[in-house]
Structure formats: C-alpha cells, structure tokens
Amino acid sequence: LNFAGPNCSDSAGPGDMIRRTQVKRVLCVAEKNDAAKGIADIMSNGRMRRMEGLSVYNKLYEYEYNLFGQNVTVCMTSVSGHLLGMEFKAPFQKWHSCNPVQLFDAEVEKYCPENSVQIKRTLEAEVRKCQALVIWTDCDREGENIGFEVIDVCRAVKPVLQVFRARFSEITPNSIRRACDTLTEPDINVSDAVDVRQELDLRIGASFTRFQTLRLQKIFPASLANQLISYGSCQFPTLGFVVERFKSIQAFIPETFYKIKVLHEVDEECVEFSWKRNRLFNHTACLVLYQICMEDPIATVISVSSKPKSKWRPLPLDTVEMEKLASRKLKISAKETMKIAEKLYTQGLISYPRTETNQFPKDLALGPLVEHQIPSPQWGGFARGVLELPGGPNPRQGTKTDQAHPPIHPTKYTDALQGNEQRLYEFIVRHFLACVSQDAMGQETVVDLDIADERFSANGLMIIKRNYLDVYPYDRWSAKVIPVYEVGSQFQPSAIEMVDGQTSPPQLLTEADLISLMEKHGIGTDATHADHIETIKSRMYVGLTADQRFLPGELGMGLVEGYNSMGYEMSKPALRAELEADLKLVSEGRKDKQGVLLHHINKYKAVFIESVKKAKRLDEALSAYLGAAQEFTESEQQDL
Amino acid sequence: MNPQGVVRAAQAWLQSSMQVQVPFAWLEACVEWLQQEGGGASLPQHQLNQQVLDQWLLTDLRDLAHPVLPARLSQAHKSELIGSFCVQLDFVLDVSQPAYGQLQRWRGTDCINETVSAVTQASQRPWEAKPTRMLLLQVTDGVQSLEAMEYQPIPALSTTLRPGVKLLLQGQMTCRLGVLLLKPGNVKVLGGEVEELVERHCQGKVLCRALGLPEEEPQGLAERPE
Ligand SMILES: [Mg+2]
C-alpha cells in the first residue's frame, strides 16, 4: 500500500515523490517519557517491547500498529520538554562581552544543551530507520514548538521524511486511537509564536538583567555584591501587582462609621435586622436618625418576600480556575498544582491540564466519564445519581474555549494515589461531578421593617435540595432560620443600637488573587502564571506571610519604585500585555513573525536606553531600602 | 422713577419672585454700580432686577450679614422650621461612603486592582443594602451656619455643586442637633458661586479635611468635573 496523507508544509519540492515512499517504520516522539509509555501502552494493547536509548530517562517502545491503513512498526520515544535552547552567539555570551544594549540586536541561535545531547542522538539514530515521523508532544503552544525542534533535528539527518502531528487531549484509548486516525500537519504559526516569545524573553531579560545587576552590585556592594538581579517582562509586572497592593495598604486611611442595628428576640432566636442605609461616616448624622427611631421605636413589617434561590454548581474546570481553587481550597501552590496535574495527565487519570476551555464540547460523551467513578466508596453513589438524572449528566457551560482541549476532567478512576496527588485528583473528580449535576436549591425570605421612616431588613434561607453540594465540600451554603413575620404586623424590637466600626484596608494578595490579576491584565498565559510567580519568590523580590500572602521585599520594592519613577510603566502590565496579544495573533497566523519580533525589540530597546539614562532613579529608590549609594562614575557606566 | 423707587422695585421683585431678602443699603449700592457700569443710562427695571439677582448669586452672604434663619436654630435639640429661606452652600460631603475612596476617585488614583480578588463567582446578597447617598451640606444665611442632611434622596443636589451656590430652602423641615433634615421638596438650587469659596472648599480639600490630611494644592484639579 502506498501512503497518502498531509505533508509538512515546508517540504516544498518533490512532495509527490515523497508521498509515494512506502512507510514501514514510524518514529513517534512524545513530550515526556511517561506520556510516551502511556501512549505506547494503549497503541500496543500492553504488548510493546521496551528498549534503552542513549538517554537513561527516555526509553524506546516498539510495537506493531495499523497506521495509514497498513501495518507498520512504531518506535515511540520522547524528549524531556524543550530539546533546544536559544542563546546569543558566542561573542555575546559573557556578561562583560558587550554593552547590554547590543543584546537587542546581537545574533541568537538555537543550540542543544548538554542534558539534551543524548536525546538528540537517539532521535538521529532512530529516524534514519524510519520513513515517517509523528509528533505526539502536548497539544499546546510549547508542545507545538517542541514538535518543530524534533522535526528540525530529524530532517537534518533525513531530509526525505514525512511528518505528521497527532492531536489529543488525554491519554486514553479512545482519544489516542482517534488521534491516530486523524493525523494532521504540525502548526508552524503556533510554533512561531513560541520562537518570538523565546527570543524576546532572551533579549529583554538578558539586557535588563545584566544592566541592573552590574550597576546595582557596584552601588550597593554590602547588600547586593553577589546577587543576580534578574529582570523579565512577565516577572516585573507580576512583582508590580504585589508592590501596588502593599502600597495601597500602607496609604490606606481607616475611617470610623456608624450604623443602626435592630434586634428582635423570638422564642430564644435573635434576628438581626440591618439598616438599609448600611452605614454613615458622620456621627451626628447617624445620631439624628437614631434619635428619631428611639422616639417612636415601634417596628412595622412592610414586606415579606420569599423566592427560590439557587447556588450554582461550578463551571467546568480550566487551568486558571484549577490553580486558583487548588491554592485557596487545598492550599497547594499553583506551581505544585501544575506539576501534579501534569503527572496525573501522563498517567492517563485526567485530561490535558492546560486548557482555557470551560465548556464541554457537544461530542464528548460525559456518561462514561461519570460511570468510571462509580467504584469510589466516597463519590461513587453520587456519580450513580448523576447518571440517573433525567437527561443524564448536565454540565453547566462557561463561555471560554481555546478550540484545542476540553475542560479538565477525570478520565479514569483510581484509589491508588497518596498525599497531594490524591487530594488534587479528588478535587478534579468532585469538581467534574459537581459541574455535571444540579444547582443547590433553596428558598430565601427577606423581611423589611420600618421604624420611624428608617428601613431595616433581615433574611433567612431554607435549603431545599443540596444537590451538587453533596459531592463538593469546597463550597459552603448555610441555612439561616428566620421566624414567620406578617406584613402589617407591629412589634417592639428587643434592642435598637447605634454601633460603630472602622473601614479596613484591602488585604495582601494571595496567590489566587495574583493569578486573577495576571489573567485580567494578560501577563503570561495560563500555562506560565505559576512559573512567573515562582520566579519572583525565588529571586527574593517577594516573600510570603504566615497566612500565605505576598509581601514585597526591600529589593522588590526598590526596583519597582525606581522603574516607576523613570516614568516608564515597566512594572505595569501594559507593555507585556501588548506583546502577549501579538503572540496570540502570530499563533493564529494573523500577524507576521518577523514584524512582531522587530516591533517589540525596538520598543523594549527604546525603554532600555531611557532606563540607562535615568539609572540614577533606580539607585535613589533602592537607597531608601539598602542604605547610601556608592558613587558610580560615568566611565564605569561606559564600561558596562 | 426716582432712584429710591428703582431700588424698592428691585427689592420687591427679589422678595416676591425669588424669596431673596437683601439689606436695602447693599441693594442701593448694587443698583448704583450697575447703572454706572451700564454707562449711566438707566436700565429697564426687568433687566436691572435680573442683574441684581446675578450679583447676589455671586456674593458671599457673610458680606451682607442679613440673617433669615431663626436665631439659635442650630442650638435647639429639636425644632420645626416652616417658610422659605435663601441660604448659601459652603461645601458638601457624601457621608454614605468612605472619604478615602472618594478622594482617590477625585484624584484619579483609585486602583481598579484593589477590587480584583480570586473569587470569580461573586456571591450576590440581595438583602445587603446598597448604600443610598447621603450628602451633608454646610449652609449659612450669612450669620448662622449649620449642617443640613439629605434625609431623603434629592436629585437636585450633588458633590459637584459649586461652593457658594445659593439654595432656596422651603416648606416644612425638622432641625435636630443642629442638623436640618431635607427632603426633595425642601430644596431648590438657585445657582451662583463664591469665587474664594470655590478655591477653599473644592471637593479635594473637603475630603482631605475629612480625613485629617494636609490640604493639597488643587493643581488644576479643581477644573475636573468631579
Ligand atoms: Mg507541556
């Protein structure tokens, strides 16, 4: 049989001839060894032969498979994430080799780092024996780019190679088989967007990092002599959010307010009615109204309304929501959450955990996914209940979709996990079951009172059906008893009190708040939020309080204030957000790679040149935290 | 008409159509000045009336020292007030909200990020009161100053009223602890301002005072609409 299928678009020329080449042996490359093993296990029905490659961490799995309508031998192997890195060419690599401004134009190249050399050699050796290559890396931007690294390495030793892309969202038999049946082309636009990001991150990061590190080490030798003071165009806005919140807490001025509170004791229950005016920031004004009430303290019930109230089941889970919920409810950091989720995914327990989608596609059969969970002693009963609902599983649907992956959901039941892996898996399962079940239902009663023309109200809540709450302990909904009141009836309140209180500042950011801010301002992607947060922690720009809230450190404060005082919003999100938006356009093929690259290089270069000119502002801001600045001469500046 | 007659006619018109009471001596001087400004030609009475009113709207009532409110009203524990009274608003403050947030909005330094939190599904609590605005007005008849509060919402009032603007208070009003309780029917905005007060009582300064902050220079911000 002759093989016919899509070909990689950049292999112009003898395409027809290539297509006629008979395929006997296919090289498959996954992003990690675990994924390669899981996919091979499914494709071979557990009958693959395991062999060693040159890299001890990346095994080879060999088996027969019916691909392209014919029996072929598959060699499935893996990389360990990116195979190649990007670096400046040799003359610019050393820190003192050039003025950092040159790093905006210096030549860069992709290279194979030491720890990837053996993986690369294995690929080169294996591809020589194959006629086709199928890319099985994760189906996201980074995965697409890693795919092209593999393609480039393989094509270099075997130019006549047919290249395919397998698209899948989970390592389950159905999903893997469907991917095999519908192989496509790799998407160069998506990969280009990653190349642009890598190059910009390298140039911007290296230039600013060298500039500020070399300068500040000399100016504050006592505190910074041996410190790397890194800069990144995502890191800094992230740090900026933390500093901004800290400063707004410092600047906050508390104010006293006054309110009137009405209490009514009925059969040992005490109902508190709250003032419709809520609170007043003037003592006399409140006292006037309080006196009016006290002169005629009879309450008249003016309305009693009762209406159904439901508490919504959660939306299907996307990455950002998972990170936020895990951080808040399970106290697992975003970084740790993603690490665990990645592992659960490669074990075939959950679907791909990097997704922006919060609606289930119509063609995804939810019934079987729910059914998988029936064996669980904890939530199996609930899962059975979901299947017995009229109409079956009924997901609440969000509005976001990345057109690539479904919301995060369990793909298999397990009771063999421990610790945080177990807790995160349980959370994902419970969240899934909750979102395909039913909203909790209750009845809310609101009672409005009039006392001398001032209005007060109290509410009660009766829970009628808990529904999703039964499987979702992360949400709370408490019933609140309120006695029966008749419209028009009057009573003497047990107490009418004038009370005071104080306004309080916003709180320091939690990790979940920080992710929300990054998402709102378009800093990083759902795949990278956790990494940027980790970076500012590891650079000591921020620390964590006892209750896990972010507090800026002195260096972090000084850097943000210094750059802010230059007038450039380097620690504000706008600059990076525009970059991120352009990357999206490149990945969709709507903007040109080179154009976007040049535009942003020039923009950041201009900012860099200005920053160097105004570098004294940085010293000034930091000296407020680190002590007096050492003199720094113009000639030393030139030496940089 | 003799000059005294012109002044009397203006006084009668101010009193009957606007409930504005002014000292005769001030009115005399005002009419004389207006006629000089008009090149000595005698203005028709209706034009003169209007110009006298315009002058009054821009005058600090303290300069006229012509009380219209009952004496010692602000000291009474509780009293009822009936009638029509022209007063001047010196400044206004919304006491239903923290002054800090108002100052940030006024300066344009309010930070939307402060309201961002991780909780995406904000739980709505319909029974929780949305604060109704309550403006607290510092008013004077030129001799006696007191506070007046927006007891019920009064659409004609706002924090953008110019300091020194003249108000007509009318109908039945309660005064407690030196605070007049105003309802919508009690207030009519006549207009005007007082130049020195516009500067001294701009919203930013009023808010700073409420917070115990040093008063900042307006830096052109007084021109802002809010
Ligand atoms: Mg990946």
Rounded Cα–Cα distance for residues A573 and A233 (Å): 9
Side-chain half-sphere exposure of A68, counting CA atoms within 13 A: 25
Mean pLDDT value across residues A231-247? 92
**Residue B131 — very low, low, confident or very high, per pLDDT cuts 50/70/90?**
confident
Summarize pLDDT for B50-68 with one digit per residue, the tens: 999 999 999 999 999 999 9
Q: Nearest chain B Cα to A246, which residue?
A: B114
Q: How far is the CA of A163 from the centre of ligand 1 (A)?
A: 20
Q: What was the pLDDT predicted at A15? A: 40
Cα-Cα-Cα-Cα torsion B198, B204, B206, B208, nearest 10 degrees, comes to -150
Summarize pLDDT for A385-394 with one digit per residue, the tens: 999 999 899 9
CA distance A607 to chain B (A): 24
Extract long-range pairs of A367-371: CB within 8 Å, 24+ residues apart.
A367/A392, A367/A393, A369/A393, A369/A409, A369/A410, A369/A411, A369/A432, A370/A433, A370/A436
When computed from its CA atoms, the radius of gyration of chain B, rounded to whole angstroms, is: 21
Indicate whether B224 pLDDT > 80: no
Q: What was the pLDDT predicted at B116? A: 65
Q: What was the pLDDT predicted at B108? A: 85
Q: What was the pLDDT predicted at B218? A: 52
Q: What was the pLDDT predicted at A6? A: 45
- So what's the ipTM on this one? 0.90
Which residues on B lie below 8 Å from A248 (Cβ)?
A: 111, 114
Mean pLDDT value across residues A550-579? 88
Indicate whether A297 pLDDT > 90: yes
Sign of the alpha-carbon dihedral angle for B143, B148, B153, B158: positive
Q: What was the pLDDT predicted at B118? A: 55
Cα-Cα-Cα-Cα torsion A205, A207, A208, A212, nearest 10 degrees, comes to 130
> Is A399 near chain B, with CB under 8 Å?
no
Neighbours of B70 (CB within 10 A): 15
Q: What was the pLDDT predicted at A571? A: 73
Q: Could you tell me what percent of chain B has a pLDDT over 90?
A: 68
Tell the burial category of B144 from Cβ atoms under 10 Å away from its Cβ (0-12, 13-18, 19+): middle
Summarize pLDDT for A33-68 with one digit per residue, the tens: 989 999 999 999 999 999 999 999 999 999 999 998
3-state secondary structure of A500: strand
Indicate whether A3 pLDDT > 80: no
Q: Which of B95, B152, B179, B180 to mutate to test the interface with A (most CBs of A within 10 A)?
A: B95
Phi/psi at A152 (nearest 5 deg)? Answer: -60, -45
Q: What was the pLDDT predicted at B120? A: 41
Of A245, A285, A324, the CB nearest to B95: A285
Contact assignment for A503 to B132 by CB distance below 8 Å: no
Q: Which of B117, B130, B159, B208 to mutate to test the interface with A (most CBs of A within 10 A)?
A: B117
Contact assignment for A513 to B118 by CB distance below 8 Å: yes
> Is B130 near chain A, with CB under 8 Å?
yes
Extract long-range pairs of A1-7: CB within 8 Å, 24+ residues apart.
A1/A68, A1/A69, A1/A70, A3/A68, A3/A70, A3/A131, A3/A132, A3/A162, A4/A68, A5/A68, A5/A162, A5/A164, A5/A183, A6/A164, A6/A183, A6/A184, A6/A185, A7/A162, A7/A163, A7/A185
Mean pLDDT value across residues A490-504? 96
Of B95, B98, B177, the CB nearest to A287: B177
Rounded Cα–Cα distance for residues A285 and B158 (Å): 18
Q: What was the pLDDT predicted at B125? A: 44
- Which residues make Cβ contacts (< 8 Å) with residue B130, sequence separation at least 6? A278
Residue scoring higher pLDDT (A205 or A570): A205
Q: What was the pLDDT predicted at A22? A: 84
> Is A510 near chain B, with CB under 8 Å?
yes
Indicate whether A175 pLDDT > 60: yes
Which residues on B lie below 8 Å from A252 (Cβ)?
A: 100
Report the range of poorest mean pLDDT among A7-21, A127-141, A289-303: A7-21
Q: Tally A–B CB contacts below 8 A.
A: 95
Q: Nearest chain B Cα to A255, which residue?
A: B98
Contact assignment for A516 to B113 by CB distance below 8 Å: no
Contact assignment for B177 to A288 by CB distance below 8 Å: yes
Indicate whether A16 pLDDT > 60: no
CA distance A412 to chain B (A): 29
Rounded Cα–Cα distance for residues A109 and A502 (Å): 59
Of B116, B147, B181, the CB nearest to A517: B116
Q: How far is the CA of A76 from the centre of ligand 1 (A)?
A: 17
**Residue B124 — very low, low, confident or very high, per pLDDT cuts 50/70/90?**
very low
Of A275, A284, A503, the CB nearest to B98: A503
Helix segments in A32-140, DSSP class H:
33-43, 117-127
Extract long-range pairs of A14-20: CB within 8 Å, 24+ residues apart.
A14/A160, A18/A160, A18/A162, A19/A162
3-state helix, strand, coil in chain A (%, to 5): 45, 20, 35
> Is A520 near chain B, with CB under 8 Å?
yes
Contact assignment for A281 to B118 by CB distance below 8 Å: no
Tell the burial category of A110 from Cβ atoms under 10 Å away from its Cβ (0-12, 13-18, 19+): middle
**Residue B193 — very low, low, confident or very high, per pLDDT cuts 50/70/90?**
very high
Rounded Cα–Cα distance for residues A384 and A373 (Å): 8
Of A241, A253, A513, the CB nearest to B100: A253
Q: Which of A244, A260, A288, A449 to mutate to test the interface with B (most CBs of B within 10 A)?
A: A288
> Is A351 near chain B, with CB under 8 Å?
no
Contact assignment for B96 to A503 by CB distance below 8 Å: no
Indicate whether A9 pLDDT > 50: no
Of A281, A288, A327, the CB nearest to B99: A281
Mean pLDDT value across residues B148-175? 96
* A189, A272, A295, B176 from A290: Cα distances, Å: 68, 16, 9, 11
> Is A310 near chain B, with CB under 8 Å?
no
**Residue A633 — very low, low, confident or very high, per pLDDT cuts 50/70/90?**
low
Is A352 a residue of the active site? yes
Indicate whether B225 pLDDT > 70: no
Give me the count of residues in chain A.
640
Tokens of B145: 């100053």
CA distance A286 to chain B (A): 10
CA distance A511 to chain B (A): 9
Q: What was the pLDDT predicted at A524? A: 83
Summarize pLDDT for A358-383 with one digit per residue, the tens: 999 888 899 999 999 999 999 999 99
Helix A141-157 to helix A117-127 angle (10° resolution) is 60
Indicate whether A435 pLDDT > 90: yes
Indicate whether A155 pLDDT > 50: yes
Q: Which of B79, B100, B209 to mutate to test the interface with A (most CBs of A within 10 A)?
A: B100
Contact predicate A621/A558, CB 8 Å: yes
Which residues on A lie below 8 Å from B211 (Cβ)?
A: 253, 255
Indicate whether A7 pLDDT > 80: no
Rounded Cα–Cα distance for residues A327 and A515 (Å): 10
Summarize pLDDT for A98-123 with one digit per residue, the tens: 999 999 999 999 999 999 999 999 99
Contact assignment for A284 to B120 by CB distance below 8 Å: no
Q: How far is the CA of A353 from the centre of ligand 1 (A)?
A: 10
Indicate whether B194 pLDDT > 50: yes
A624's enclosing H/E stretch is helix A615-626
Which residues on B lie below 8 Å from A517 (Cβ)?
A: 113, 116
- Which residues make Cβ contacts (< 8 Å) with residue A159, sequence separation at least 6? none
Contact predicate B146/B73, CB 8 Å: yes
> Is A327 near chain B, with CB under 8 Å?
yes
CA distance B212 to chain A (A): 9
Rounded Cα–Cα distance for residues A557 and A536 (Å): 12
Indicate whether A199 pLDDT > 70: yes
> Is A513 near chain B, with CB under 8 Å?
yes
Q: What was the pLDDT predicted at B226? A: 36
The DSSP result for chain B, as a single string, is --HHHHHHHHHHHHHHHH-----HHHHHHHHHHHHHHTTTPPPPHHHHHHHHHHHHHTS-HHHHT---SPTTGGG-SEEEEEEEEEEEEEEEEETTS-HHHHHHHHHT---GGGG--S--SPPP-TTSPPPPP-EEEEEESSS-EEEEEESS--TT--TTSPTT-EEEEEEEEEEETTEEEE-GGGEEEEE---HHHHHHT-HHHHHHHHHTPPPPP-TTGGGS--
Rounded Cα–Cα distance for residues A374 and A384 (Å): 6
Q: What was the pLDDT predicted at A269? A: 86
**Residue A191 — very low, low, confident or very high, per pLDDT cuts 50/70/90?**
very high
> Out of A352, A425, A485, A541, which one is annotated catalytic?
A352
Mean pLDDT value across residues A196-206? 95
Q: Nearest chain B Cα to A315, which residue?
A: B121
Summarize pLDDT for A320-346 with one digit per residue, the tens: 999 999 999 999 999 999 999 999 999
A575's enclosing H/E stretch is helix A574-587
Q: How far is the CA of A32 from the centre of ligand 1 (A)?
A: 8
- Which residues make Cβ contacts (< 8 Å) with residue A524, sequence separation at least 6? A234, A238, A518, A531, A532, A580
CA distance A465 to chain B (A): 19
Contact predicate A260/A289, CB 8 Å: yes
Mean pLDDT value across residues B10-27? 92
Give me chain A's average pLDDT, please. 92
Summarize pLDDT for A215-226 with one digit per residue, the tens: 999 999 988 988
Q: Could you tell me what percent of chain A has a pLDDT over 70?
A: 95
Q: Which of A242, A253, A315 to mutate to test the interface with B (most CBs of B within 10 A)?
A: A253
A346's enclosing H/E stretch is helix A334-346
Mean pLDDT value across residues A152-161? 96
CA nearest neighbour of A252 among B99, B174, B139 = B99
Q: What was the pLDDT predicted at A12? A: 40
Residues 184-223 of B with CB under 8 A from A: 210-213
Indicate whether B115 pLDDT > 90: no
